[in-house]
Chains A and B, each alone.
Chain A
Amino acid sequence: MRRGLLFAALLCAASSVALAADPGKVIRYVFPAAETGFDPAGGQDLYSGTIEQAIFDRLLTYDYLARPAKIVPGAAEALPQVSDDGRTYTFRIRKGIYFTPDPAFNGTRRELVAEDFVYSLKRLIDPKLRSPWAWLVEGKIVGLDELAAAAAKSGRFDYDRKIPGLEAVDRYTLRIRLKQTDYNLPFVLAHEPTSAVAREVIEKYADESGRAMSNPVGTGPYMLKDWVRASKIVLEANPGYRGFVWDFQPGSDPDDARIVKEMKGKKMPQVGRVEISIIEEDQARLLAFERGEIDIMNMEAPLAPNVLDGDKLKPEFVKRGVRLSRFVDPEITYHFWNMQDPVVGGLSKEKIALRRAMGMAFSLDDEIRIVRNGQAIEAQYPIPPGVVGHDPGYRTSIRYDPAAANALLDRFGYLKGADGFRTLPDGKPLVIKYTSRPDTLGRQQDELWAKAFALLGIRMEVVKLRFPDQIKAEKECKIMMRSAAWIADYPDGDNFMQLLYSKNIHQNNNACATIPEYDRLYERSARLPASSPERDRLYHEMTKIIEAYAPWRLDISRYRNMLTQPQVLGYKKHPILHAEWMYIDVKSGKGAGGGEGNAGGGD
């Protein structure tokens, strides 16, 4: 009883802090798939991560308007001091950041300190947690792998053991020492798995695996108010949140000026409550949006014909004041061939010719038009738009040209037999086994590839594998060919270029490619700062190698189309931050639902 009163008193004290968020300002949002839980080290799906972004603080975060995404301080006072060799990062943590009150704190107000980040980063590699994010820190931080190895042996992770790589120098200073130069660490520390959690909270609520999926207690702008799994998530503004004044600088996007006009100078967050529904079906989602039951929704490609004329909203939506925030997602899709496969793999000229020919017979136009409903662009470069290292002027040398592809196969001895199908240069049958999932997208891709192979006179077999089997076969280098996608974990080119690094075979190098030239260049690039001209040059060379050896045929990058109701102010979809609620506002009062007067305009 006494503890409950103390807890309530603390909550009241926290509420007394000047809070901008208006409980009457509600954003109704939608997820198209269910979340799993809100432990930053435990969840791995986009939707759980989105909630974690709103509840927890990270050392670093992103500027709301800057594109490509730009790192800015989060819980840290400023960007880190980085040693000359890029191996030591020192952060100063802002004073006076507090966790939301929770019984785990025994009635005391709990400040965020450097030790919390030490603890949170250690958790990622605790074998008991089996965190899907272990790779963010594995092999990088001095002493951390050894700690994990000891835990694997003893069965207990020693969180109290000091390691040189993660040091709380004082209450507010965190020093991270890396095994080797890594300029990507700031991106990692802006990623939600590295969010700060309080050890007391985890120890109080953790399940058998050490995860606290249902009790997120953070220092971020929102806190979990209500949660019906896979159905509804309600967040309320954290009354103790430090807040900030909206002062982002507009970029070249014409919409930015309107957003700045709507938002500049406001104390944030303005939105007091976020209600998130999980609606899996496309029709239900769109109808709910059109009925005004949802304020912001991601319009997936299958719905595009209902809402868009080309890349613009249909007039009836414009008339109602609905707005579209559209950009190319930081992702690529690509078709890969297993470089260890005896039929399509290897670096010999005839194998390269075979892979190139297959790539040249695949029509990206058809894929964009038929499969993606026009909601994608052709990927020219392995680093997509909006990601540091992307080159908007680059044009791939691999083009759709079935005639040239056939000529290439003829030249390298893949000749057609009496049955009209090609054979291997040694006369043995040539059959390409294309693996896909037993879903709609899989079937559509089967058909497009069947068309490509028909143009080449190559026999094709479709292998259907469910998702877990597909990943397993891929990691074991047992898939001959498949179409895959990679979405940025953080907006740096390294996140994409590492996909063909040979040391990542059995992890995420799904082409199982070992191309020595590529490896050498990748290792050099990994030691260079992001956006350095030298690293960009190396990425160009690596891209040429991808085109030359053809382990991949680059495919497309999809558009993300976010629809907002007229009453939503200041919204612009961020490529990495998905919980934009802390940066936006809602018109309050009657008539907030918009109307003709709001067509495409601002206030």
Chain B
Amino acid sequence: MAGKAATEELELIELGGGRGPRDAGFGRDDAGAPLVPQRIYFTGIWLALAAILMFFMGLTSSFVVRKGLSGDWVAFSFPRILWLNTTILLLSSVTIERARRALLRDEVAGFHRWWRITTALGLGFLAGQVVAWQELAAAGVYIASNPSSSFFYLLTAAHGIHLLGGLTALLWVGRRPAVAYVRATPLTAVTVSSIYWHFMDGLWVFLVLLLFLGR
């Protein structure tokens, strides 16, 4: 029976993505190192970002179409705190990169310091966004007031929720960077989180310009 014979001839190899031996299958080796090929986390995060990009592009096209078609678009006074928030978020991209590089050099204390600063900056950004909403609400501008404010609340909230996801990752990774992970190594977790964080940063710059220039 050829099929059975073939089974018997299955040979032990490490999972190799079709390109030859590389990382091994799932689980852990005898030394406790994870056996999952770490590149899945990088592929996974880029795919997630592709989907997130499509999501925001869908909303952006809606913004452009809705503005172009209508005569009811009213500009609102842009909360100035958003520029401060933008600066904070840009700064956090710098600090998360410093944290990652510290980890690359095995400077655990330095990693923790920069990672905590990043987390604080992220929290500061979200707090700033809430202040911006409060300013608008105080001025009587709500989500249903006019299409420009609808998009403002929608896009900032959608970005905020995504950033909250990033913050959760920061807190999770920051709490246990030295602990052996089930599947992802600490460096993978840190790098993947920072890719996501940079993307949220870039996305925000795009959104704030869209909202400001298109308001």
A, B bound: no
A residues neighboring B (CB under 8 Å): none
